[in-house]
Structure 1
Amino acid sequence: MTALAEAPIAPALGLHDNLSNEEYHSDKTSLSSSGARKLLPPSCPAKFRYEQDHPQPASKTFDYGNAAHKMVLGNGPDLEVVPGPRWDTGKAKAHIAEIRERGGIPLKDHEMQMVKDMAAAIRRHPLAATLLDPAYGAPEQSGFWIDGPSGIRRRVRFDWLSSIHSSRLIIPDYKTAADASNQAMEKEIEKRGYNCQAAWYEEAAQALDLGGPETELLLIVQEKKPPYLVNVIGIDFMSREIGRGKNRVAIETFADCMATGNWPGYGDEPNYLSLPGYAENRDKEIYL
């Protein structure tokens, strides 16, 4: 059997309410928001392609966030407590391996209690609870559409999608953080490209006929330590427009790489670099 025959069939265009996380991520013919950010500096297409071909295995690093997503949104891997204070015994290691083998997340007793308490804190927050009300929405819905200017397939996986669609559609996106304060999250928006994500999800909603031009993504950010504070964050217009511009560069880069089969790294010629602006301004006054 050829590699082409073995390749998974790409999901159909449109909205899917029952597509698994594995099926969503297995589509290498389409570009996601996180993939678009990986195509841009300080990353590069070569890193993007490598991570597509070598997905990261499950690890403790991502367990808390994924477990909180499951508890808060009601969809995701099974959560299972591995009893006992020590996980370095043969029995515990075998139990953990078995849970991960079937796609679950192993947790200690206090970790399970933590994610339960986080979900309870979300339900006590008036706005977050309203945005994630199970009576008026559903989690983990995937969409695929064709990008007009480039012709490539784009995709999105909404954490939560309201069942009440209008031009003022609000798209909540749940995230966990060590610090959810406004000051910390301004830095996180830049560091993690959440402005790009906001622009991507808003365009997705419009392309999939879920909402109009007034569609907006709101981040629901929750701290991972008691009292599990919640901050609902919108991203301002200019930041989203910058994100939209960066997304367009990433889309055109993806289209070119797909057409040529070339996924470049940092270049084949020397890259001539200057000092960071602050260092140049400091040192030229002293040494020149």
Structure 2
Amino acid sequence: MTSTIEPVATAPELGIHPDLSNADYHADKTSLSSSGARKLLPPSTPAAFRYEQDHPQPATKTFDYGNAAHKLVLGNGPELALIEHDTWTTKAAKAKVTEARERGAIPLKQHEMDMVTAMAAAIQKHPLAAALLDPAYGAPEQSGFWLDGPTGIRRRVRFDWLPSAQSGRLVIPDYKTAADASNRVMQKEIEKYGYNQQADWYEEAARALGLGGDDAELLLIVQEKKAPYLINVIGIEFGSRIIGGAKNRTAINTFAECTATGIWPGYGDEPNYLALPGYAENRDKEIYL
């Protein structure tokens, strides 16, 4: 896939931008974000990354729930529009949903609004989560841009919550919703969604932007989307963050090369010879060979 990145005339300057909108943050396609870095690596491809950058994906219910919870928990985000129809199959309901999305709002049914409201209330009752997201000591949705030293590419970050300047260790909370926030499930989610890469990216961003020392740390505040809306505050172990950093460096180098050449490869132009999965090969060798 051959494609060049057109410079954005209004690309944000380097540094922290407290009031930059989410739309303007994502509009800068000349910079690389943490989620973009993860999309550049297998099992995805640079071609898939470039396509998604050029063709934003439509809203889904999963993202609606997450964004709505972010709005009420963090106090920043799109309007929540209550659509007072039990089903959205009628012409009147569809019209209201369409109108809400066109103005940038998140349409919700009454039970969905009740759910995200209860989730926000549960956060306030959790001692650690409430302390990490205390509006007296931080602000939501803070964007930052900086230059990568080894490659010179623009990198970007959007902190869910950025604590106010203070002495001591900088702890950066990142709020997520999940069906199951148990340790057993979240250990798999860290690998599945690359949260160890996110931790390294955000911690490096904090250092590059002059927000904290070498000991800045990301903590995930993961909340379940079913009553009683349990919360698990999770840190990423050091070794996993080191692996995340190595993967990020590979992604950054890939972005720099693709940007320079205008070539965003997919799975390759030659045959890829694949073996059986290790467990299947060992099993079948025992039985058939």
Same fold, judged at TM 0.5 (above)? yes
Give me the whole-angstrom Cα distance separating, in 2, the residues matched to 1:265 and 1:127.
43
Aligned to 2:191: 190
Rate the CA distance shift 1:111–1:4 in 2: closer, same or farther, 3 A: closer
Question: Aligned to 1:264, what secondary structure does the other structure show?
Answer: coil
Name the aligned partner's letter for residue 107 of structure 2. Answer: P
Aligned to 2:82: 81
Aligned to 2:53: 52
Query: Quick one: distance in 1 between partners of 2:212 and 2:8?
Result: 33
Aligned to 2:120: 119
**Structure 1 position 60, deviation (Å):** 2.4
1:199-250 deviations in Å (ceiling 9; x for gaps):
0000000000000111000000000000000000000000000000000000
Question: How far apart, CA to CA, are the structure 1 residues paired with 2:9 and 2:92?
Answer: 36
Determine the C-alpha separation between the residues in 2 that align with 1:284 and 1:205: 51
- Going from structure 1 to structure 2, the CA distance change for 1:143 and 1:5 (only over 3 Å counts) comes to closer
Return the offset for 1:110: 1.0
Cα distance in 2 for residues equivalent to 1:252 and 1:11:
22
Q: Distance in 2 between matches of 1:97 and 1:61?
A: 18
1:261 and 2:262 equivalent?
yes
**Partners of 2:155 and 2:202 in 1: how far apart?**
11
Contact 2:7/2:30 (8 A) holds in 1: no
Q: 1:4 to 1:60 in 2, by over 3 A?
A: closer
- C-alpha displacement of 1:5: 9.1
Report the CA distance between 1:287 and its aligned residue: 1.1
SS state of the match for residue 255, structure 2? helix
The DSSP-based 3-state class of the residue aligned with 2:116 is helix
Bigger RCO of structures 1 and 2 (CA < 8 A, at least 6 apart): 2
Q: Corresponding residue for 1:105?
A: 106
- Matched letter for residue 26 of structure 1: A
Please say if residues 166 and 210 of structure 1, whose CA atoms lie closer than 8 Å, have aligned partners that are also in contact.
Answer: no
The alpha carbon displacement at 1:57 in A equals: 2.1
TM-score, normalization by structure 2: 0.97
Counterpart residue number, 1:203: 204
- Trace 1:22-101 onto structure 2 (pairs within 5 A): 22-101=23-102
Contact 2:5 2:259 in 1 (8 A): no
What's the offset of the Cα at 1:61?
Answer: 3.2
How many residue pairs were aligned? 286
1:119-268 to structure 2, matched below 5 A, reads 119-166=120-167, 168-268=169-269
SS at 1:140 equivalent: strand
**Identical aligned pairs, as a percentage?**
75
SS in 2 for 1:151: coil
Q: Map Cα deviations across residues 154-203 of structure 1 (whole Å, 9 max, x no partner).
A: 00000000013445100000000000000000000000000000000000
Alignment check: 8 A CA contact 1:75 1:140 kept:
yes
TM-score (norm. length: structure 1): 0.97
The one-character-per-residue Cα deviations of 1:113-148 (angstroms, maximum 9, x if unpaired) are 110100000000000000000000000000000000
Distance 1:8 1:99, change over 3 A: farther
| Structure 1 counterpart SS, 2:165 | coil
Instruction: Give 2:149's aligned amino acid.
Output: G
Code of the aligned partner of 1:225: K
Kept in 2, the 8 Å contact 1:169–1:211? The answer is: yes
1:167–1:214 CA contact under 8 A, matched in 2 = no
Contact 1:68–1:119 (CA under 8 A) maintained in structure 2: yes
Q: 4+ residue runs of structure 1 moved beyond 3 angstroms?
A: 3-8
Distance in 2, Cα, partners of 1:261 & 1:167: 44
Stretches of structure 1 that go unaligned for 5 or more consecutive residues are none
Q: Take 1:48 and 1:4, find their aligned partners in 2: how far apart are those partners? A: 12
Distance 1:186 1:105 in 2: 30
Checking the alignment, whether the CA contact within 8 Å between 1:167 and 1:213 is kept in structure 2 is no
